[in-house]
Structure 1
């Protein structure tokens, strides 16, 4: 319920003017009423300060991800109900209500309940976040990018002068002396870690010379590694276009960053071994490859020489004329056979022609004339076939086997008489 303004004063702040202002007490009273009408709220944070005096606790509660803090008062009536006294550095959840001290204009929070966040609760929250991000596909294998075989420049995000930085740089240099680093030192725990690591990641991701990014930190308690399970950082790693290697803590430590990174290294030392090849091993591999190649070429030449020797010992190559002579003999046989076949065929064809000629001659009219017969024709050339068709004194031409002669019809014999005379 809002307080009423004294008579003659503006009813609301919007109605105040330079000529008709509110007294400061009116503003503070109205702010106090408005703020203290806020509902109870559960908040989470980390205790930066914890002073207990006369049974009351005066705390400073800071956000776990960003640099925001607030004063919290826990009255003695509430303190007596708590299981443990608040300690600096602990992570807690508190049920608070805003409180405004009008005399000094100081805003604080009054806690009616305060509970420490245990390890089990933290692990449960991380698991829920891990499952939620996994359901979105941030951990899918198809999103993992392959690391370059030999990166030109390695981006390294780690704490200043940390053992993790020394392990990565030393081991990578021992394996490949020419390796280059671009190192950005950031906070790797505490409230500033997420913002600084995310900013460094984006800076390295925009550098075209950087081909792989390593985020490294040594081991620590679960609370120390919580920044590497922060959702904002995890999504930034997923959105990066440069392959990211996670090298956080020891083998047993597994922040959510390990799941979204393109490669998880168990330790910073392991990361160094996996991002660059070992020069000694590469030279040994080259030497072994050369030896295998030499043996392979030598074996190939030996086999081919044996094949050539075997071919030269074959009869066809030992005495090449043998093949030519055998082919010449085959060709001679084929020529003789062809000649015989042609001769035989010609002879048979000659016999057939002679037989046909005899048949033709046997059917020839000349053959008939040769047997003593003759052909009688009239003057017009027509053949006389019947004696009754002739007349006396008619001129005839007679053809015999050899030559021709003429005759005159003197006497005609009918067919009956001619048969009798015959």
Structure 2
């Protein structure tokens, strides 16, 4: 049998009587020696790797024939373009390490890798790429985190950091955008409220601007992507929902116990509310009215969340045997179950409390406030010292 590759060579020297069918046994023509040397060199070139070559890349790069058996370590997000597969020939291979950003692997023209026109190796992972002479394939290690199945990731949380919104990593680093899993930068990505309209609800979406993950604020509501099952900007799968926010005058972002105007779609722990009167508030109304808008606790609510609220403080009646009634209300003056009633003699001060558990609120902006009425005279809700100060506390969560 002709020895057409080094794998056909025999460990017994006398059995190696040809090289690729060129006879090199005793009495062979002198020219066969020259031709067999050339054949052996060709077999070694085709069948053996050179030494492993390490090369660090900080930007886009095109892999060439001489990169065979190289380890290409990318220290930033980049695109690795592959020279035509026919030029790289069968068995050409490299190891690609994404160590600073996602690496997009892009074969030449319409050529494919694992049957796709491109693949993305997420930051922190690697892949072996090999040519069979007509297409490229990988060892599939990258697909542990970048499967072709409809797996989705939301390993992030949106919060307020300084003056800007910040999308940061949480329990991982991947976010699915348009069916592809991208690594969130270690420092996160930010969004300023520049040119936004105060008191407007904005949904916050993440998208890829080239190789850079970016945030945008949009008044367009989200919808569920039928392919991936994640929430996206309606009719635009390139935008993945990561939160919602409502700027205040400035414009500026706000996230305080009185104004919970930044909510994360992923990994949101819920928010706590608190507000109180800074001055005594009085009414003579015999029907429920908001006692003063300063006690409103404003918040953004995801569909399906529940709001638990409690009010406590002290009241004074200005009429003998007068009644002060107190209740919590959402977005108006409709009472909630769990209000209180106090019957007082003139100028008595007594404590009160009220509770509410609210579900079914629409998604978006809401507030909880304190409403009250009196049977006669003037009722006053106290603000002067802790222990008597009228306040509302609450919790919004899924």
Q: Bin the TM-score by the shorter chain.
A: under 0.3
What TM-score results when the alignment is normalised by the length of structure 2?
Answer: 0.24
Higher helix residue share: 1
Higher strand residue share: 2
- Higher Cα Rg, which structure: 1
What TM-score results when the alignment is normalised by the length of structure 1?
Answer: 0.23
